[in-house]
Structure 1
Amino acid sequence: MFRLILGRAQWCGDGVWEDRALGGQRIEFEDHFDGEALDPAKWFAAYLPHWSALKRTRPNYRISDGVLRLFVAEDQGPWCPDLDGDVKVSNLQTGHFSGPLGSARGQHRFREGLVVREEISPQRLYVPHFGRVEMRARARLGPQHLAALWLIGFEEVPEQSGEITLMEVFGTAVGPEETEVVQGIKAITDPALEDELNEVRLPLRAEEWHVYGMDWTPSGVRFFVDGAETFRTRQAPDYPMQLMLNFYELPGEDPAGEGWFDVDYVRGFAPESGSGSEV
């Protein structure tokens, strides 16, 4: 048994994370990227492939010295050029759901008129329903880059489509000594939710390691950076959601330049009582 203090939170061993305000929570998902390859039992290496194709949506990444690096390669093409323009993305996700070929059923309907172009079997790798998620990460971002960790509804029920933005950092919001971090909730097509986002400018350098976290309960979501609370919502999605770990290159007139998104670890904690992940 050992104790590591991070802000107010305390890791006490035995798979339990304790916080005086939150009570005990047990780890149900954890990846420190210690191996030489991505663990397929934890991550599905594609980005919403049902709206495009697996071969178009595979990410560029490498794992070295216990760090995952997501990046966009020079020869990488847009993930869905006819529907999302020149947007390029390297993404890992902890689940996947879509309907049969030609149907309109699928996760994250980002525009009208979408139909499934490639039929892919559902995957429930880590699909939590309430709990805590945290990530230790750093990023080098040019003006056209975006680094983010989101949760989206698993969406077997189409209305269960909301998004929790754990952290979202645009390259245009990164300064030498301050960085603007976006956190909150996006309704997408969930009629029970409304957009509730916070843009907070923090005295941190994006290229240095920071811990981004959230605690998701039926009454709302609390967000943290380096152990300090930065925002809390007054609503919360009430259904299973999956993690989406993204590095984007957005369209622009100038070359994007070098950029990357490094992740040291991702952890998911379930409340000791109440809902947990669905696998």
Structure 2
Amino acid sequence: MRPRVPVGAALTAAALVLAGAAPAPAGPPAPVVDRGTRVARTPVVVGATASAVAAQGPGTPAPVGDLPGWRQVLVDDFTTDVPLGGFPGPAYAARWTGYEGSHDTSGAGTYAPDRVVSVRDGVLDLFLRTEAGTPLVAAPVPLRDGAWGGWTYGRYSVRYRADAVPGYKTAWLLWPDSDDWTEGEVDFPEGDLDGTVHGFVHRPGAPQENALAVDTGVSATGWHTATVEWLPSGVRFLLDGTVVGATDVSPGRPMHLVLQTETSGGTPPAGAAGHVQVDWVALYRRT
């Protein structure tokens, strides 16, 4: 779950900016955006009650503006196309950075945004696959005012879907700005792309313990909106507007969002390939 790359407060966005190098041989093109139905599985839940909820329909717009108790600080609907090898480029450099060149959590994959990340037809696309024996992955990081992190508590919403690619996973997380795992960690959505959507809250002071662990029983192959609400009173996970997990345990130090998309516990099948697609991202601070 934890990043295997330096993510400390001393690192600047410029130091980790996604490269604009020429793309590698393309392989299969990005798919046409399909906002079809999900496949639900039997939920197995620890610490909360989960419900499999219907995916929202096609064309759901990005939310614009504040919510009760929350001030919107960033929303990105990915309206400007960027080819593979060009992200973030001029269109997105003020709002996005990410990991580059390091191994992922399992050690099998390499963060290679210049060969993985593009924007097409209003969707941020992560094209996961193996090339020359190396699984290629990515971990985009949204910025606010050109910097990441720097605040405590917030609301983080991402509308996304994934192909059921064996050997890969999402581990999208709130990670401490200090890079000190003992301050806690919040993961949602996390799970194998060919499995179901999970969520975890790692207990501050004892992060090897889960204050919350939930399996929603929902596949990520349909379009879903995953939201983390992080408050002093606790953390809530919402999937398509329904609360699927909650705890009164809450990290109390600044954290930042990472869309950490990586190999799942080891080397994936060499022929495994597919896409994780992000329709929009919206970030809020408490008012």
Q: TM-score category by the smaller chain? A: 0.5 to 0.7
The residue aligned with 1:41 is: 94
Runs of 4+ in 1 over 4 A off after TM superposition: 47-51
Matches of 1:160 and 1:40 in 2, distance apart?
A: 31
Please give the per-residue CA displacement for 1:220-260, whole angstroms capped at 9, x wherever unaligned: 10110000000001211111111111222343473352221
Counterpart among 183, 187, 195 of residue 199 in structure 2: 183
The residue aligned with 1:90 is: 138
The residue aligned with 1:169 is: 191
Matches of 2:260 and 2:184 in 1, distance apart?
A: 17
Give the aligned length: 209
The residue aligned with 2:270 is: 255
**1:138-217 counterparts in 2 under 5 A?**
138-155=161-178, 158=180, 161-173=183-195, 180-187=196-203, 190-191=204-205, 194-202=209-217, 204-217=218-231
Counterpart among 130, 141, 155 of residue 132 in structure 1: 155
Alpha carbons of 1:171 and 1:73: their partners in 2 closer, same or farther (altered >3 Å)? closer
Q: 2:232 touches 2:252 (CA, 8 Å); kept in 1?
A: yes
Matches of 1:147 and 1:213 in 2, distance apart?
A: 14
% identical equivalent positions: 26
Counterpart among 69, 77, 81 of residue 32 in structure 1: 77
Matches of 2:150 and 2:101 in 1, distance apart?
A: 16
Counterpart code for 2:71:
R
Higher relative CO (Cα under 8 Å, sequence separation at least 6) belongs to 2
Moved more, 33-42 or 130-139: 33-42
Matches of 2:216 and 2:81 in 1, distance apart?
A: 36
Q: Give, in angstroms, the shift of residue 44 of structure 1.
A: 1.4
In the superposition, the TM-score normalised over structure 1's length comes to: 0.65
Counterpart code for 1:221:
V
Matches of 1:232 and 1:270 in 2, distance apart?
A: 19
Matches of 1:201 and 1:34 in 2, distance apart?
A: 31
The alignment partner of 1:17 has SS state of coil
Please give the per-residue CA displacement for 1:56-113, whole angstroms capped at 9, x wherever unaligned: 63321110111001122432765xxxxxxxx652111247xxxxxxxxxxxxxxxxxx
Counterpart code for 2:137:
V
Q: Is 1:57 matched up with 2:86?
A: no
Matches of 2:101 and 2:155 in 1, distance apart?
A: 24
Q: 2:149 touches 2:177 (CA, 8 Å); kept in 1?
A: no
